[in-house]
Amino acid sequence: MTELASASAARPATRRRPIPRGVVLAFGWILLMILVGAFADVLRPYSITALDLSARLTPPIGFGGPITHPLGTDELGRDVLSRLIVSIRVSLLIAFGATVLGVFLGGTLGLVAAHFRGLIEQIVLMLIDAQAALPFIILALSVLAFFGNSLALLIALLALYGWERHARVARGLALAASTQGYMLAVRQLGAGPWRLYVHHMLPNISATMIVSATLAFPEIILAESGLSFLGLGVQPPMTSLGNMVGYGRGYISSAPWILLFPSIVIVITTLAISITGDWLRDRLDPTVS
Amino acid sequence: MTLLRLHKVKRTYSTRQGLFGETEQVSAVNGVSLSLERGRTVGLVGESGCGKSTTGRLALGIELPDSGDVTFDGTRLPHPNTKAWKALRRRMQLIFQDPLGALDRRLTIGAQIKEPLAIHKIGSPADHEGQVHRLLAAVGMRPDQAASYPHELSGGQRQRAILARALATSPDILVCDEPVSALDVSIQAQVVNLLLDLQKEFGLAMLFISHDLKLVGCLAHEVAVMYLGLIVEQGEPATLYNEPAHPYTKALLAAVPDSTRRGPRPLLSGEPPNPAARPTGCAFHPRCPIAVPKCSQVEPALLPRADGRLVACHLAHVESAAGEKVS
């Protein structure tokens, strides 16, 4: 305990750095989104399929709408707020799940390629090139046409979106890191692959991998909206942020709120993820003060 | 007692120029024999590219020689990355040239000194903290510096931390590959003195690789001069420095700055030759000021002279034989 105290006294600047306000806001937003997603069933005032045909396309509060539908209603008289809340849950699940899965898949394949070199590396590189050359929508179309549609399948499919980039980044970083003195030093100490890769390689390449993941996150949200728009993603009556934007597009001039609120949520969430990822990268690097 | 013996080790790398170029064989080490003993230091000197570092890696078993063998404690070194090889790491350690590069910048010094203990399962994890403090004290650092990151330390402190990590497993052999060439002269002396103290304390056998002749003279019990993958002269530093027998050693010593020297110093002409295209005969003859026709045809063997020194030069042996006859 005394050691900790003296160590932090010696370097107060790196240990007690206040978290920037932007990061606090971003963190707060992500937390809010997670809470909304977790308690969606309690928070939503109406069922997402509850039709109120007499109150179709009512504007939100402040634009002449009644208090009963704070964010207005859509073309079938469904409550936009309720649909937004459930959409956040579905989209977050898909985007987080697919990002984590994609980074894990790509990162593992990249490290495997860098570790074994030779034939295995060539096979991984070939897979990467094949994935990069194949239009994602065509891949998605064929997979969904053959295997039907489910949330788990959609997450797995979207994980394939961008894995090749993570794999390339991980392989390049691992190749560069393995020639560095510290890797040779630890290998020379007699360390096994687990220690080499998990204790030393991963923390050192995590900064770039985190940035790679935060870039992939908004892309996956957009890819999911694209698929939903084509009718391949989340199937109605279920809803997602992309789904809402897709169907709201037809009413952009008469009832823009249908499309506006999910769009705002997409923009703020992706921005918050980027800010948090950026801060996390600096935070994990002891040389940045 | 000999702890580590290199017997006529050779190591050749193949390189290719461009995609369709021919492969070239570059012999980095071309038949070196050395032996290390407990409590003694062998200094290995020579210009860059002469195979010093490769010899160091071969001695540690990080690479296996193409021919010849390396024996440690009477047994041949195992293949790298095998279980036996990993277990052997405990007994042989390497000190690097670049102290910042050899440390993981994301881990504290304490965590990194603990690593060899964890890898080789020495003591219980509860004891490791105390062990780290003892090791830090042994290399002259404060215990609270265990919580520092590498970038927060000075170059000398980093090299001390690396020494502490290397000593954690109480090794028998320490190979130092230019350990102080990245440090200031004042810090160099500290680290060298520390190495000498640690050698006395732990009875280490050391292979000290450097291009700094003066430094090697200060701490080695035996000096080997390398040229193009071969040892050309080997002996005690006092005699080797006072009357170098090989023309290459003479030229190297002449290049050491000396404030008492009068007149111009004899300089070597020409570049060190390409190891991919070795000159025939004595590898040094194209640059040798005293070469005779025999030098370009017959490769001189590393033979002992009357004073116990090993020299690989036709003329040096003729000289010493003539000198004995006269006296």
Per-residue pLDDT band for A5 (boundaries 50, 70, 90) equals very low
Helix (H) or strand (E) holding B41: strand B41-45
- Residue matched to tokens 């979106």: A161
Does the beta carbon of A18 lie under 8 angstroms from any beta carbon of chain B? no
Query: Is B24 domain-assigned?
Result: yes
Q: Given an 8 Å threshold on Cβ–Cβ distance, is A185 in contact with B102? A: yes
Mean pLDDT of B254-280: 74
A185 touches chain B (CB under 8 A): yes
Sorted by sequence, the CB contacts under 8 Å of residue B245 that are 6+ apart come out as B233, B305, B309, B311, B313, B316, B319, B320
* Contact with chain B for residue A180, Cβ under 8 A: yes
Q: Report the chain B residue with the minimal C-alpha distance to residue A185.
A: B102
Spell out the domain ranges in chain A. 21-39+76-284
Which helix (H) or strand (E) is B287 found in, with range? none
Q: Which of the pair, B325 or A33, is modelled with greater confidence? A: A33
What does each C-alpha distance from B275 to B102, B188, B212, B227 come to in angstroms?
A: 28, 31, 22, 10
Q: What is the DSSP string of B141-169?
A: --GGGGG--GGGS-HHHHHHHHHHHHHTT
Q: Is the pLDDT of residue A109 over 90?
A: yes
To which CATH superfamily is domain A21-39+76-284 assigned? Answer: MetI-like (1.10.3720.10)
Q: Which residues of B140-158 are buried (b: 16+ CB within 10 A; e: fewer)?
A: bbebbbbbbbbebbebbbb
Task: Using a CB–CB cutoff of 8 Å, tell me whether B111 touches chain A.
Answer: no
Query: Which H/E stretch holds residue B15?
Result: strand B2-16
What's the rounded Cα separation, in Å, for the pair A240 and A233? 9
CB B123 within 8 A of CB B202: no
Q: Could you read off the pLDDT of B147-158 as tens digits, one per residue?
A: 999 989 988 889
pLDDT tens for each residue of A141-192: 888 888 877 888 889 999 988 899 999 999 999 998 888 888 888 888 888 8
CA–CA separation, A177 vs B294, rounded Å? Answer: 49
CA angle (A204 as vertex; A201, A205 as ends), nearest 5: 85
Residue B90, chain A, CB below 8 Å: the answer is yes
Looking at the partner chain, which of B62, B143, B147 has a beta carbon nearest the beta carbon of A188?
B62
Cross-chain Cβ contact B144/A10 below 8 Å: yes
Please give the average per-residue pLDDT across B237-258, as a whole number.
85
- Rounded average pLDDT over A47-67: 77
Distant-in-sequence, close-in-space partners of B181: CB < 8 Å, separation ≥ 6: B97, B210, B211, B212
Please tell me the distance in Å from B166's CA to the nearest CA on chain A.
8
Chain A contact for B103, CB < 8 A?
yes
8 Å CB contact between A190 and B119: yes
Q: Give me the domain span that covers residue B243.
A: 2-91+171-326
- What residues of B are in contact with residue A288 (Cβ under 8 Å)? none
Interface test with A, best of B93, B104, B135, B177 (most A CBs within 10 A): B104
Position B207 pLDDT exceeds 90: yes
Dump pLDDT digits (tens) for B85-112: 888 888 999 888 888 888 888 889 999 9
Alpha-carbon distance B155 to B184, whole Å? 8
pLDDT band at A118 (very low <50, low <70, confident <90, very high): confident
Residues from chain B that touch A6, judged by Cβ atoms under 8 A, are: 144
Query: In whole numbers, what is the pLDDT of chain A averaged over residues?
Result: 83
- ipTM score for this prediction: 0.77
Q: Is the pLDDT of residue B320 over 70?
A: no
Are residues A190 and B143, on separate chains, in Cβ contact within 8 Å? no
DSSP of B220-262: -SEEEEEETTEEEEEE-HHHHHHS--SHHHHHHHHTS--TT--
What would the two tokens of residue B321 be?
A: 């034989």
Higher pLDDT, A96 or A59: A96
Predicted confidence at residue A9, as pLDDT, reads 42
Closest residue, chain A, to B104 (C-alpha): A182
Does the CA dihedral B125-B126-B131-B137 come out positive or negative? Answer: positive
Domain CATH for B294:
3.40.50.300
pLDDT tens digits, one per residue of A181-222: 888 888 888 888 888 888 888 888 888 888 888 888 878 887
Determine the distance from the C-alpha atom of residue B29 to the mean position of all C-alpha atoms in its chain, rounded to a whole number.
13
What is the Cα A164 distance to its own chain's centre?
16
